[in-house]
Structure 1
């Protein structure tokens, strides 16, 4: 059993126009009103379709428009605008043959990537106080945060949680450390004052004692002078 074959015939007219009968246009042509017209090159658009006497008339793309392939487009495509409100900035400027390429702003990462570019981005997560940065955000990944344990702390900008300060001898804790703040220490003023007071007391007592001994010695010498034994005969 034989299937009927479809035979296509293409008749090329002067000026490059081709009339198709049962045959699709070639890759370098586009179809319009059942006719095949030559495509325009990248960077151009169809200003006038081909006719029986003329080929396709092409014109350069105006500013801020482009075509990136051979086509039968009657207008160039508008260049993409990298919107800062969408977290984007220009990576490569638009040309007549290629669209604008966008990339994330500083401190943002791409949430809608395309080949060599990005169509949408959001700001990196900021770690909260009590968290450290486990992994810094990149162009295509968000920041990863990790919670500090009970013996460490971070203000949200540290890459690792830091251990709480241990108050040294002679200091006491004025504020216990938390996951978001360090321990606060202060010098022990009361013991120092007590020590100074004791030293003053000892010095005073010593001075009084020395003074008393000196006075006693002087009195002893005076009594010894008047009480010397003597004879009446």
Structure 2
């Protein structure tokens, strides 16, 4: 006859009465068997465990049974070692193996194992718990990733998965945003229209580069033009000066030169062929 270890004394009393009533009037041998069954049904205390006919004291949490009690000795207990534990009073001869928090399952050690408590696992960053326990988790799964064209409407936690929603209207997201962004309104030229997963591409973005290049070329052209005009003016002035210098002797009045001995000296007006200059006349007067 099998019995629960924690049957109360009241239950045992009622059981004995019922058994006696059932076997009343039977042979003495039957009564003896009933009494033996009743004796085997006597429960041990809450801090005891049954071994044969003995109720042995349990070992405390963190310890296991080394030797069971006897009629003359109490239970012998030893601590749990080598990553094993027992978290309740017990009559076990072996400790339980500590739980392994496997990173491959998205788990990490939240509380390490002790002789009197098992390992408590938590979830890694980016995972949420699929099989929660009282203090931790036994299995986890990675948060889902939103696709391009979707945004994260609810960020995943350690207990819930990420929730994704589609971008509405003229908005877009690459899947990593918590809200969709408005498409850029092109001011001049739209090269590529926006999609739910990408922004519009505008021609305005290339205008500054073109403007800079055009401005540089314009400056070079202007500088070259000014330099050419200045050079032309300088060359023209030099040519004019050379022409003036070359033509100047022909334009000046002729300067009289000294007559040669054979050249006839012209007579002054009013003369008769003889030297009638004042110098000559003065010389004649003197003579």
Aligned to 1:185: 202
Structure with more helix by fraction: 2
User: TM-score of the superposition, structure 1-length normalised?
Assistant: 0.71
Cα distance in 2 for partners of 1:22, 1:86 equals: 46
Root-mean-square deviation (CA, aligned residues, Å) is: 2.4
Q: Deviations over 1:47-71 (max 9, x none)?
A: 0111121111000111301110100
Aligned to 1:104: 123
Give ranges in structure 2 of 5+ residues lacking alignment.
Answer: 1-16, 22-33, 215-287
Q: Deviations over 1:107-158 (max 9, x none)?
A: 1000000001000001001111100000000000000000012411001111
Cα distance in 2 for partners of 1:58, 1:104 equals: 36
1:36 is displaced (CA, Å) by 1.3
Cα distance in 2 for partners of 1:142, 1:163 equals: 26
Cα distance in 1 for partners of 2:170, 2:87 equals: 59
Q: Deviations over 1:73-118 (max 9, x none)?
A: 1111110010001110000000011000000001100000000100
Matches within 5 A, 1:58-207: 58-168=77-187, 171-187=188-204
User: TM-score of the superposition, structure 2-length normalised?
Assistant: 0.58
Matched, 1:55 2:74: yes
Aligned length: 179
Contact 2:54 2:71 in 1 (8 A): no
Q: Which structure's relative contact order is higher, taking Cα pairs within 8 Å and 6+ residues apart?
A: 1
**DSSP 3-state at the match of 1:85:** helix
Give ranges in structure 1 of 5+ residues lacking alignment.
Answer: 10-19, 197-233
Cα distance in 1 for partners of 2:64, 2:125 equals: 36
Structure with more strand by fraction: 1
Aligned to 1:211: none
Q: Deviations over 1:20-63 (max 9, x none)?
A: 64301111111122321110000100001111211110001113
Aligned to 1:221: none
**DSSP 3-state at the match of 1:117:** coil
Contact 1:150 1:178 in 2 (8 A): no
Aligned to 1:220: none
**DSSP 3-state at the match of 1:89:** strand
Larger Rg: 2
